[in-house]
Amino acid sequence: MAVAITASLLILEHHLTRQPERHIEKPQLSNDSAKTLPPPKKPSSLPKVEITDYPFPKGFMWGVAISAFQNEGGNGKTDWDEWPEYKASTPRHPGFDENDITLTDTLGIKYIRFSIEWARIEPEENVWDEQELKRYVGLARVMQKKNIQPFVNLYHFSLPAWVAHKGGWANDSISYWFNRYTAKVAKAFRPLKIKWWMTMNEPTVVIMQGYFNGTWPPEKERATGLLRPVQRNLMRAHRLTYHTLHSILDRKKSKISVGVAYLDQSSMPKNPEDILDRETADAYDLVMNTFIDGTEDEMDYVGLNYYNIEVTSVNRFKLISPLFFGLPVEFSERTKPYPRGIYERIRKLRAHRKPIIVTENGIDDGTDSKRPSFIVRHLYWVHRATLDPENTIVPVIGYFHWTLVDNAEWGRHEPSHFGLVDVNSETKERTPRPSALLYREIIRSNSLTEAMVEQYINKDKSRE
C-alpha cells in the first residue's frame, strides 16, 4: 500500500562509500558582530534540598539545549533568510551572549548544548568569517570559566544560502562541504579541549519537513525521488565529520565523544483495531526512528530528542503527519503528552549499545502552568530507566531541557514559549519562570524529591 511503499523509500543504506576529506583552502576574513543583551533578572534564593528516593547517577549531565538560528537569527546568508515564509513572519530571536551564560550558571545548569551557524562561519563558498568563529569560541570559553561544559552542535536545520543554491542536502558534494566546515571549526576549538560534540540535530526532520511535507526549505513536497539521496548524504556527512572531529580533537589520554540528536518519537494508531491505522503507525516509526541504524558504528553516544507521542491514522496521516513544530504540543489534535514514552524509547535505543543522552525535552507553555509537571513526569521515567539492570551496560548519562530562553520556533509566525526563562519581546529582559527554579532544585540535589513526585504525579492524575 502507499504508506508502506513510501516508508520503504527511506530504508537506510548501511554501506556507503567512504571518501577522503578534500583539501581545506586558506580562509578569508570578514566581519560581523553580535549585539549585547541586557542582563537577566536574578532568580530568587535557592530552595531547600530535600531527602529523596529518586536520585540520579553520580555525574549525571544536567543541561539546556539551544539553537543558533532560533536564538541569533540569520545573518542574511542562510536558506531560511531567503525563504518567503520566514520573511513574512515576525520571529523573535532573543540573542545569546555572556549574560545568558551567567544566567545559566545562576540556575545551576552544568551543560549548554549550543549550535554553530554554518552560514556565519562560511557565508560564501570558501570564504571564512574568522570574527564569527572567534565569537563562538569566546562563548565556549566563558562557559568553561563558569564551570559550565560546552556541548557543541555543528548543524541545526539552517544551511548557508550558497549550499542551498547548489541543491542543499540533495547534492552529493554537501557531505564534503560540511566536512570542510567541520574541520575549520574543530581546529579553532581545539585549545578548549571540549569533550562533547554533535554533528547534527534531527536529520530525519530535515528529510520530512523539507522533502516530504514541504513545509520548510527547500519546500519539496512529496519529493520521493529525493528522499533516499538526501538521507544518504546526511548519513555520509555524519560519518565523515565523525572521523574528522576525532582526528583533530582526540588526544593521547583523552578522546572526545561524538553523536547525533534525533527525534525518536513514539507513535500509536488512533484505532488499534484498524489495520490501516496500525500500519500507518508502523510506517511513521520506520521513517522517524531508524536513522541511527545506518550510522551506529560512527557514534559514541545516542542523543534522544523526545517531546510527545504521535497519534496516527489514515485520514490524518496523509502518508506522513505533521510533527510537533508549529503545533501547541499539549493541545494538538495530532499529538498528546506521553511521559512514559521517553522510557520506552530509551529501552529501544539500548539495542545500539551506546550511552544515551536525552538531548531535548520540553513543552511550549507561556503560562508555565504545565512545564513543572512536564519536567517531573518525564524525569520520573528517565530516572526509572537508570534503575534498569541494562543501565550498567548501556547507561543514560544526561538530560538537556529544551530550551533556556523563549526563542523563534521553526516555521511558526506566532511566538513560542519553550524557555525556562521568559523574554520580554521589547527589551529582551530575561525573567526565570518557576519551572527554572524547579529545574535548579533538581540539578542541585541530583534527584527528584518525594514532594515533587507527590505534587506533580501522585496528586495530579489528570496529566497521565
pLDDT at position 270 over 80: no
Least confident of 128-142, 157-171, 276-290: 276-290
Dist. CA 67–CA 156, nearest whole Å: 7
Query: Is residue 170 one of the residues assigned to a domain?
Result: yes
The pLDDT of 256-265, averaged and rounded, is 88
Beta bridge partners of 257: 196
- pLDDT reported for residue 52: 60
pLDDT at position 267 over 60: yes
Query: Is residue 22 one of the residues assigned to a domain?
Result: no
412-456: per-residue pLDDT in tens? Answer: 888 899 999 999 989 999 999 999 999 999 999 999 999 999 999
- pLDDT reported for residue 294: 83
Decide: residue 344, CB within 10 A, 0-12 exposed, 13-18 middle, 19+ buried: middle
Contact 276, 314 (CB under 8 A): yes
- pLDDT reported for residue 433: 98
What is the DSSP track for 134-154? HHHHHHHHHHHHTT-EEEEES
pLDDT at position 185 over 90: yes
Distances (CA, A) of 411 to 117, 155, 319, 329, 446: 18, 17, 20, 15, 36
Whats the size of the chain, residue-wise?
Answer: 464
pLDDT at position 265 over 70: no
Query: Is residue 55 one of the residues assigned to a domain?
Result: yes
370-414: per-residue pLDDT in tens? Answer: 999 999 999 999 999 999 999 999 999 999 999 999 999 998 888
Give me 299's grid cell.
Answer: 557514534
pLDDT interval class at 84 (50, 70, 90): very high
The count of structural domains within the chain is: 1
32-51: per-residue pLDDT in tens? Answer: 434 456 566 666 554 454 55
Contact 117, 69 (CB under 8 A): yes
Collapsing DSSP to helix, strand or coil, 329 comes out as coil
- pLDDT reported for residue 64: 98
- pLDDT reported for residue 50: 52
Contact 41, 430 (CB under 8 A): yes
Average pLDDT, the chain: 84
Percent over 90 (pLDDT), the chain: 67
- Give the CATH number, domain containing residue 352: 3.20.20.80
Q: What residues make up the domain containing 157?
A: 2-13+27-463
Distances (CA, A) of 428 to 37, 71, 100, 400, 412: 7, 11, 11, 23, 20
Query: Is residue 18 one of the residues assigned to a domain?
Result: no
Query: Is residue 120 one of the residues assigned to a domain?
Result: yes
pLDDT interval class at 463 (50, 70, 90): very low
pLDDT at position 266 over 80: no
Angle at 104 between CA 346 and CA 36, to 5 degrees: 130
Query: Is residue 263 one of the residues assigned to a domain?
Result: yes
Query: Is residue 148 one of the residues assigned to a domain?
Result: yes
- pLDDT reported for residue 269: 73
- Beta-carbon contacts of 392 under 8 Å, excluding residues fewer than 6 positions away, are none
Give me 56's grid cell.
Answer: 540520579
Query: Is residue 425 one of the residues assigned to a domain?
Result: yes
